[in-house]
Amino acid sequence: MKITKSKENSALTLALNGRLDTNTAPELETELKASLNGIETLVIDMEELAYLSSAGLRVILAAQKQMNKQGRMIIRKVNDMVMEVFEVTGFTDILTIE
């Protein structure tokens, strides 16, 4: 998985490309831990995300919990396959998806 990062003031956008699974979830988790200090808006762009596993969901949930304390998190450009995962797991009720 490739993570493209862009920051503007207190807003951070992470664009995910590839598969967010057991092998790549720790990479995203490390990136989030290193980057969220002082961030008020986190945008996760999933336009190029091909696959999302339970390990990826765990990292996204942890990011949502962190951002609930310091601002907001928005998930953007979700494809049908990833949206189905969010719907089946109930994540559509706890995430802001645009």
Domain containing 60 — which CATH number?
Answer: 3.30.750.24
**The pLDDT of residue 15:** 98
Q: Which pLDDT band, with edges at 50, 70 and 90, does 1 fall under?
A: very high
**The pLDDT of residue 63:** 97
What's the domain count of the chain?
Answer: 1
Buried/exposed code over 23-60 (b: 16+ C-beta within 10 A; e: otherwise): ebbeebbebbeeebeebebbbbbbeebeebeebbbebb
Q: Which pLDDT band, with edges at 50, 70 and 90, does 93 fall under?
A: very high
Token pair listed for 49 = 């995300």
Q: Which domain covers residue 70, as residue numbers?
A: 2-97
CB 42 within 8 A of CB 65: no
**The pLDDT of residue 58:** 97
With tokens 């928005």, the residue in question is 74
* Summary mean pLDDT of the chain: 96
CA 53 to each of CA 28, 29, 57: distance values in angstroms, whole numbers, following the listed order: 13, 14, 6
